[in-house]
Amino acid sequence: METPRIRKVVVAMSGGVDSSVAAALLVEQGYDVVGMMLRLWSEPGKEDLNRCCTPDAMMMARRVAAKLGIPFYVIDVREKFREWVVGAFIQGYMAGMTPNPCLVCNRRIRWGVLLQQALSLGAEWLATGHYARIIQDERGQFLLLRGLDTSKDQSYVLSVLGQEELRHTLLPIGEFTKPQVRDLARKFGLPVAERSESQDLCFLAGEDYRDFLMRHAPEVIRPGLIVNRRGEVLGEHKGLAFYTIGQRKGLGIATSQPLYVVDKDIRQNLLVVGPQEDLGKRVLHAAPVNWILGEPPAEQFRAQVKIRYTASPLDATVVVETPQQVRVEFDQPVRDITPGQRAVFYQDDIVLGGSMIISTSMR
Ligand SMILES: Nc1ncnc2c1ncn2[C@@H]1O[C@H](COP(=O)(O)OP(=O)(O)OP(=O)(O)O)[C@@H](O)[C@H]1O
With a pLDDT cut of 70, the percent of the chain lying above it is: 95
The pLDDT of 203-217, averaged and rounded, is 86
CA distance 18 to 334: 33
pLDDT of residue 175: 96
pLDDT of residue 332: 95
Lowest average pLDDT, out of 34-48, 107-121, 139-153, goes to 34-48
Taking alpha carbons only, the member of 160, 101, 108 closest to residue 340 is 101
Side chain identity at 171, as an amino acid letter? L
Q: For residue 194, is it within any domain?
A: no
Smallest CA separation from ligand 1 atom 12, residue: 128
Q: Which atom of ligand 1 is nearest to the CA of 53?
A: 1
For 59-78, write each residue's pLDDT tens digit.
Answer: 999 999 999 999 999 999 99
Q: For residue 252, is it within any domain?
A: yes
Smallest CA separation from ligand 1 atom 6, residue: 14
User: 144 with 250, same domain?
Assistant: no
pLDDT of residue 221: 87
Complex-level ipTM beyond the 0.95 threshold: yes
| Overall residue count recorded for the chain in this entry | 363
Cα–Cα distance list, 160 to 22, 26, 220 (Å): 21, 24, 27
User: What residues are labeled active site?
Assistant: 105, 202
At what angle are helices 209-216 and 87-94 packed, to 10 degrees?
A: 100
User: 56 with 145, same domain?
Assistant: yes
pLDDT of residue 136: 97
Q: For residue 232, is it within any domain?
A: yes
User: 112 with 154, same domain?
Assistant: yes
pLDDT of residue 159: 98
Residue 97 has pLDDT above 80, yes or no: yes
pLDDT of residue 203: 87
User: 160 with 286, same domain?
Assistant: no
**Do residues 255 and 226 lie in contact, with contact meaning Cβ atoms separated by under 8 Å?**
no
Residue 194 has pLDDT above 80, yes or no: no
User: 183 with 236, same domain?
Assistant: no
Which residue among 17, 19, 200 has the greatest number of ligand 1 atoms within 8 angstroms of its CB, and so is best to mutate? 19
Q: For residue 351, is it within any domain?
A: yes
Which residue among 14, 73, 105 has the greatest number of ligand 1 atoms within 8 angstroms of its CB, and so is best to mutate? 14
Number of domains into which the chain is organized = 3
The pLDDT of 186-199, averaged and rounded, is 78
3-state secondary structure the chain: CCCCCCCEEEEECCCCHHHHHHHHHHHHCCCEEEEEEEECCCCCCCCCCCCCCCHHHHHHHHHHHHHHCCCEEEEECHHHHHHHHHHHHHHHHHCCCCCCHHHHHHHHHHHHHHHHHHHHCCCCEEECCCCEEEEECCCCCEEEEECCCCCCCCHHHHCCCCHHHHHCEECCCCCCCHHHHHHHHHHCCCCCCCCCCCCCCCCCCCCCHHHHHHHHCHHHCCCEEEEECCCCEEEEECCHHHCCCCCCCCCCCCCCCCCEEEEEECCCCEEEEECHHHCCEEEEEEEEEEECCCCCCCCEEEEEEECCCCCCCEEEEEEEEECCEEEEEEEEEECCCCECEEEEEEECCEEEEEEEEEEEECC
User: 147 with 231, same domain?
Assistant: no
Across 44-59, b (16+ Cβ under 10 Å) vs e yields eeeeeebbbbbeebbe
pLDDT of residue 208: 87
CA distance 181 to 151: 14
Q: For residue 199, is it within any domain?
A: no
Query: How many A from CA of 126 to the centre of ligand 1?
Result: 12
Give the CATH number, domain containing residue 118.
3.40.50.620
Q: For residue 240, is it within any domain?
A: yes
For 255-305, write each residue's pLDDT tens digit.
Answer: 888 999 998 998 899 999 999 888 889 999 999 999 999 999 999 999 999
pLDDT of residue 147: 96
Query: How many A from CA of 12 to the centre of ligand 1?
Result: 7
Sheet strands side by side (includes 224-228): 233-237, 224-228, 270-274, 260-265
Query: How many A from CA of 343 to the centre of ligand 1?
Result: 22
User: 139 with 251, same domain?
Assistant: no
Residues with beta carbon inside 6 Å of ligand 1?
12-14, 16-19, 37-38, 40, 52-53, 128-130, 198
pLDDT of residue 34: 98
User: 27 with 104, same domain?
Assistant: yes
**Residue positions forming the annotated binding site for ATP:** 12-19, 38, 129
User: 135 with 68, same domain?
Assistant: yes
Domain of 92, in residue numbers: 8-187
CA distance 283 to 242: 25
Cα–Cα distance list, 259 to 230, 233, 249, 255, 263 (Å): 14, 13, 9, 8, 12
User: 35 with 119, same domain?
Assistant: yes
With a pLDDT cut of 90, the percent of the chain lying above it is: 74
Query: How many A from CA of 95 to the centre of ligand 1?
Result: 29
Q: For residue 213, is it within any domain?
A: no
User: 149 with 163, same domain?
Assistant: yes
Q: Which residue has the higher pLDDT, 307 or 2?
A: 307
User: 253 with 303, same domain?
Assistant: no
